[in-house]
Amino acid sequence: MARITLKDVAKFYGDAQVLFDCNLEIADHEFVVLVGPSGSGKTTLLRIIAGLEHISAGDLYFDDRRVNDVDVADRDIAMVFQNYGLYPHMSVYENMAFGLRRRKIPASEIDRRVRGAAEMLNMAAYLQRRPRQLSGGQRQRVALGRAIVREPAVFLLDEPLSNLDAHLRVQMRAEILRVHRAVTATAVYVTHDQIEAMTMGDRIVVMHEGRIQQVGTPDELYDAPANRFVASFIGTPAMGFIEATLEGEGDRAELVVPGLRLNLAEPQRKALARSGARQVSIGIRPERLVLGDDPSADWRVAGTVDVVEMLGSEQYVHFSTEAGSLTARVSRDHPLKVQESVTFSGAAQHLHLFDRETGKTLA
């Protein structure tokens, strides 16, 4: 078991810096997900924790022990790779036992652990097979099994589900969480899929362009994103944005948006006034747009339907307004057609305000 601490961790490849001042504390037993788009540095950060990449600057601690220069073999970690990284010339049994043999664990104990892990992952019938004789899901289970038998202090998983089909991915998500509960190791999980992050992580670390953007529980990230990037990255369908300008000074300042009537809540007004930002992006989550022109609503927005995505139980309606495009989640009881004029309304407290220049959350 281990607590992981990163202090001002940076990584350079030659002159190119790929990680900037990463600070993070991961509690013992915690399941933390690193999420971000391709090239955000999440895999590099995971590989630094693993010891597969050298730290250019900053410190990494496992509990109170600085492990910057500790070899990967001595970090007491287990890792599941994106492409499984199984040994093709060994049976499933040997794949799982290989790491244990290195640690001079008695054969009877190795056998007990391998069979136990295989049992846990429903792979007991495949122990003598080679990886090439297994399906993608089974290979991923072997990779998981190989990590489990090691009984490591830290579990590292690098996009382990990205090669699986959608159905299997959902199944394996539950499986990984079940395994994590059973082994109670600290787990760091990398994915570019925000749904995976939201459903699996105790806490989520959102990364973008080599920087940690926000660390928080799924609820915190969804309800109080730190900046426009986090707001747009977390949530499906993504948050929509319209652009606004702050006019007037002090308490009389008003956000002006073409085609939108807007009454901001008092805390939002104050926050706007404090920030001094003139160019503002307003973010609205699709489920916060209520179909219809409700006179008592804080804001109303009119537009024309561009695309309707039918999902069975509900539909995603993408529509254009004068100030930008938005997406709304609408019950299928209200059939909408392309080119139809629509009006949506909602409460001011559900609007997210961002400084358009810095992207930071204003309110």
Partner 1 sequence: MSDRRQQDGPRRFTLGKAVQYLAIAFGLFWSLAPVYWMLATSFKTELEATRIDPTLVPLEPTLANYIGLGGQSLPFFAFFFNSILSCLATAAIAVVIATPAAYALSRARFRLRGTVSYAILVFRMLPLVVMLAPLYLLLLNLHLLDSIGGLVVGFTTFGLPFAVWMMKSFIDAVPIEVEEAARVDGYPRWQILLRVVTPLIMPGILTTATFVFMEAWNNLIYPLTFMTTMEKQTLPAALVLTFTGQFKTDWGGMMAAATVTTLPLMIAFFAVQRSMVRGLTSGAVAGA
Q: Tell me which residues touch partner 1 (CB under 8 A).
A: 50, 52, 72-73, 77-79, 81-89, 98-99, 102-103, 146, 150
Give me 145's structure tokens. Answer: 């099994």
CB of 184 to partner 1, least distance (A): 20
Q: Which is nearer to partner 1, 151 or 254 (CB)?
A: 151
CB of 300 to partner 1, least distance (A): 52
Q: Which is nearer to partner 1, 103 or 337 (CB)?
A: 103
Strands (E), 76-225: 77-80, 154-158, 186-191, 203-208, 211-216
Phi, psi of 159 (to 5 degrees): 40, 55
Q: Which is nearer to partner 1, 50 or 238 (CB)?
A: 50
CB of 105 to partner 1, least distance (A): 11
CA distance 114 to 185: 18
CB of 134 to partner 1, least distance (A): 15
Provide Rg for the chain, Cα atoms. Answer: 24
Strands (E), 109-234: 154-158, 186-191, 203-208, 211-216
CB of 103 to partner 1, least distance (A): 6
List the beta bridge partners of residue 354.
Answer: 281, 361
- The residue length of the chain stands at 363
Q: Which is nearer to partner 1, 102 or 167 (CB)?
A: 102
Q: Which is nearer to partner 1, 158 or 196 (CB)?
A: 158
Q: Give exposure, 264-303, as e/b (b: 16+ Cβ within 10 Å).
A: beeebbebbbebebeebbbbbbbebbbbeeeeebbbbbbb
CB of 350 to partner 1, least distance (A): 44
Q: Which is nearer to partner 1, 143 or 244 (CB)?
A: 143
The letter for the amino acid at 127 is L
